[in-house]
Structure 1
Amino acid sequence: NPKKSAFSAWKARLREGVPPEAMLDGVRRYARYLAATGKTGTEFVQRATTFFGPDRNFENPWLLPVSGTNNQRCVNHISEPDTEIPPGFRG
């Protein structure tokens, strides 16, 4: 996550009149969203350059899932093998 380009995007939003607190509020919402969806630390986290870029993703509501729980399985969990053969695949 290149700091220089992220800081340039941050400064560009400041020049547009966006208050720093509005961007920080967006960071907090996004962090809660990532934690709730289990995406923290994955390749699905936006780069700061994109987050503070011209699309202004920091303004998104980043709503939490309705259940408030993580609906994704743990990436370290190994599923049990399925030993049942479906009826259409029996020979």
Structure 2
Amino acid sequence: NPKKSAFSAWKARLREGVPPEAMLDGVRRYARYLAATGKTGTEFVQRATTFFGPDRNFENPWLLPVSGTNNQRCVNHISEPDNEIPPGFRG
């Protein structure tokens, strides 16, 4: 049962002295990350057993992706056609 193993992982972290609020903060960060990357409800969401497991993924920063950088172009922009034939391709 995934809930049982997830709860076991949660209790193991509590026994190690991890405050519940630290784990809940990790859940909140991860939820924001999933929403920002469009992965909520997909097969890429970690199971709670893994998230609270010995690797302590709840401690990851789960940084949100940076958007709007200057090296990205708008996906709705249509570029002007290039009507020139490069010198190496002229017959």
Q: Does the alignment reach a TM-score above 0.5?
A: yes
* Structure 1, gaps ≥5 residues long: none
**Secondary structure, aligned partner of 2:64:** coil
| Per-residue deviation, residues 3-29 of structure 1 (Å, max 9, x unmatched) | 000000000000000000000000000
Superposed CA RMSD: 5.2
The count of aligned residue pairs is 91
Query: Normalised by the size of structure 1, how large is the TM-score?
Result: 0.74
**Secondary structure, aligned partner of 1:29:** helix
| Cα distance in structure 1, aligned partners of 2:70 and 2:34 | 10
Structure number with greater Rg is 2
Query: Normalised by the size of structure 2, how large is the TM-score?
Result: 0.74
**Secondary structure, aligned partner of 2:76:** coil
Sort the Cα spacing of 1:38 and 1:14 in 2 relative to 1 into closer, same or farther, 3 A. Answer: same
| Per-residue deviation, residues 10-59 of structure 1 (Å, max 9, x unmatched) | 00000000000000000000000000000000000000000000000000
* 1:67 shift after superposition: 1.0
- The range that moved more, 16-25 or 59-68, is 59-68
| Cα distance in structure 2, aligned partners of 1:35 and 1:24 | 17
Sort the Cα spacing of 1:4 and 1:83 in 2 relative to 1 into closer, same or farther, 3 A. Answer: farther
